[in-house]
Amino acid sequence: MTFRAMLAATAMVAALAGCEQIGSFTEQPVQAAQEPQFFENAYAARSAGKFSLPPIPEEEIPVAYRRQIVPYETTEQPGTIVIDPAHAVLYLVQPEGKAIRYGISVGRDGFGWSGTSVVARKAQWPTWTPPAEMIERQPSLEKWRDGQPGGPTNPLGARALYLYIDGKDYGFRIHGTPEWRTIGKRASSGCFRMIQQDVLDLYERVPTGTKVVVLTPEGEIPTKLTLPPPSPKPKRAAPVAASAAPAKVETKALDAETTDVPDEVEAESADTLARDAARALEAAPAATPEAEAPAASFKPEVEAVAGTEIERGTETETEAPATAPAAPATDEAEAEEEAPANPVFVTPVR
């Protein structure tokens, strides 16, 4: 082999090696999808201070609403709470593009809101005091007007985070609930319910002053505060009309009609009548005997006058027919029952 042939062969081998290196460099490794990380024994029985929490059957909780760590991209800082009402989930932002996600129950139709708030204070086994508007909607809550002590049946559950907006308390809370089956549904009056074990976990992770962002129904960061419209006041009961008393006709005896006649005229009339009677007897032929007609029985004349009877100038008192009693007015005030929990229609995206 000549020297020139050796150089040509060496150049060809180098070129082939370079193509192989370029092909290896452009290949991209396939990334496996990140699976959510669930918490072991997250819903087991546990002590919660004054009371203990019973276990929750985890298999009965939809997978989407179990406590888990998921990828979550956001511009919010770690430690921020982001609530997504459209998907009924709450995120506690973590470093490295992740978040702890909890299933929640959100406000039913007409009670939703969006905006930015802060955790102003926290409470263990808090007292629940229904607002006056809620008592008007549900009169059965009147017994708790001064507050229901904390306990296993208290609607605020084992823990509560009180949300204030610009320093004002609008009554919104993140709290536990003994009705854990409402998680993933629209069932509250604007608060965010959590499974008891989940609210204990969140309570221990966030301090007061934590920022809370409630997304819009479209899942966007809110640019302003949007509150639910005022609740309509229940209709008051119409006053019951009193039954009409039977009308009574006031009557009095009629006075006998008299005519004043001078004595001279009265005497002259009597004499004239006597003379006329004598002349009539002289001119009349003798009467033939005939069977006497039976004497007609005398009946007083009775005249009905507008519901009364007049007999021989004396009015007998009778009652006019009583008017029918008025029907009682329908009670239009209805105690509002808690609306049935409506399911949230959008499933959280893993």
> Strands 98-107, 159-165: parallel, antiparallel or unpaired by DSSP?
unpaired
Q: Residue 304, Cα to own-chain centre: how many angstroms?
A: 60
Query: Which has the closest alpha carbon to 103: 162, 150, 42, 12?
Result: 42
Contact 349, 87 (CB under 8 A): yes
- CA pseudo-torsion sign 348, 227, 170, 144: negative
Active site residue 191: yes
Active site residue 87: no
Q: Which residue has the tokens 């009548």?
A: 273
CA 325-329-334 angle, to 5 degrees, is 155
Contact 185, 341 (CB under 8 A): yes
Rounded Cα distance, 112 and 344, in Å: 13
Annotated active-site residue in 191, 195, 212, 214: 191
Annotated active-site residue in 67, 87, 137, 175: 175
Contact 86, 166 (CB under 8 A): no
Residues contacting residue 162 through CB under 8 Å, at least 6 positions apart: 119, 120, 121, 122, 123, 169, 173
Rounded Cα distance, 116 and 114, in Å: 7
The burial of 36, by beta-carbon neighbours within 10 Å (0-12 exposed, 13-18 middle, 19 or more buried), is given as middle
Number of Cβ within a 10 Å radius of residue 34: 12
Helix (H, G, I), strand (E, B) or coil at 306: coil
Query: Could you give the residue numbers annotated as active site?
Result: 175, 191
